[in-house]
Amino acid sequence: MNSGDNGFMLVCAALVMVMTPGLAFFYGGLVRRKNVVNTMMACAGVMGITMVMWVICGYSLVFGGNTGGIIGNFSNLFLNGLHFNQVSSYAPTLSCITFVVFQMMFAVITPALLTGSVAGRMNFKALMLFIALWSLLVYYPMAHMVWGQDGLLMKLGSVDFAGGNVVHISSGVSGLVLAILLGRRRNVEQGLYQVHNIPFVFLGASLLWFGWFGFNAGSALAANGLAAHAFLTTTLSSAAALVSWMVIDVIKEGKPTLVGASTGLVVGLVGITPGAGFVPVWASLIIGLLVSPICYFTMGFLKGKLKIDDALDAFGCHGIGGIWGGIATGLFAQSSINGTARWNGLVYGDFHLLGAQLLGILVTIGVAVTGSLISYGITKAVTPIRVEPRDELIGQDMSQHNENAYPSFNGMD
């Protein structure tokens, strides 16, 4: 056990924890005034539920042994058998409890991401029940298959450094499924929809960027050169995506926007996540430059052509960005950077890794769709999924929480 590695990883865990409040500000700034409390409360509720679940059964089902390469077992329920002076079997220089708390924060941020797809119309109680079920049926199996002992996708050679499949594709696809099942927000196209608090959006995006260094660099599981490499690729991809989104704004709208720049830096982070510890630095620049136009035009297609109300673009940002990142890892990864990758990427003449990446993406989509449909069906049988028309009209802050983010505001919403 190494005290330096433990200290580094505990700081990284704290950074990842900050990402969920950051997401609350990012999402909260994007919605209408009447829904900001509800939108931020969704992230707060997720934090409580998923942390408790992680200690009770989540860690055990992800990292406690192996059952068919799909899920763990119940050997570590309530962290049974784990002690702070015990070395983790997944990271030989870390306390097993350090590994537990670091991975806990991934289990928190992932379901929080999908709440953006259903903003403004989903019953809060139903959302919390859905998140609990979704964690059991989607997140825990996916995390085990990618990172757990003898996980299916790991054995097939698919790689995911910090959660392209586990975090972003799973949450983005599930958000899309929920958005389709719930239907569009009432009157969503009537009048001009305006982002209610742009400073909130940038504050949230900045906190996400800050926390993402723990997310990606911490996935090296040690204070070493690979962590520094992941830190740099993360920085460059996000910065490049921010610039390319500004360019798109100028071409399409004539002026750059802070909301656009904030969105760009986030999709740049998403795009590099699966390959941060596998691709060379120059490749992270390409990944970042391309992820913004890929996500931008996908969002336009979903909302403009398909009329799918992915309210805060959870699928457009995280689903599409994660898919691009997984493919890009199959294109640019080098086993000399990280030996976990069995093969080099396609640009070096080997197609095996790209094939494994595509298979991993398809499996992730399948698990996310199936688990989301089951979670939705169970939730619907227990409680109403969507708020009443009147509650949606007056806003979910008052109807769901009896709170008002701006009690002194008397203007039109």
Provide the token pair at 90.
């997944």
* Nearest CA among 173, 216, 161, 168 for reference residue 353: 161
Q: Which residues are 122's β-sheet partners? A: 386
State yes or no: pLDDT of 262 exceeds 90. Answer: yes
Q: Is pLDDT at 275 greater than 70 in this prediction?
A: yes
How far is the C-alpha of 45 from the C-alpha of 37, rounded, in Å?
A: 12
Give the lowest-confidence range in 304-308, 341-345, 356-360: 304-308
Mean of pLDDT values over 350-368: 98
Q: For residue 410, name the pLDDT band (cuts at 50, 70, 90).
A: low
Residue 189 predicted with pLDDT over 90: no
- What is the predicted pLDDT for the residue at 190? 65
What CA dihedral angle connects 357, 8, 223 and 226, to 10 degrees?
A: 30
Residue 69, by phi and psi: left (phi above 0), alpha (psi -120 to 50) or beta? Answer: left
pLDDT at 285: 98
pLDDT given at position 188 = 76
Q: What are phi and psi of 46, to 5 degrees?
A: -60, -40
d(CA 130, CA 137): 10
Query: Which DSSP symbol is given to 189?
Result: T
267 contacts 321 by C-beta, under 8 angstroms = yes
388 vs 375: CA distance, rounded Å: 21
Torsion angle defined by CA atoms of residues 145, 146, 147 and 149, in that order, rounded to the nearest 10 degrees: 40
Tokens of 215: 């997310």
Please state, rounded to an integer, the average pLDDT across all residues of the chain. 96
CB atoms under 10 Å from CB of 375, counted, come to: 23
- In the CATH hierarchy, which fold is given to the domain comprising 3-401? Ammonium transporter fold (1.10.3430)
> Of 255, 233, 232, which is closest to residue 245 (Cα–Cα)?
255
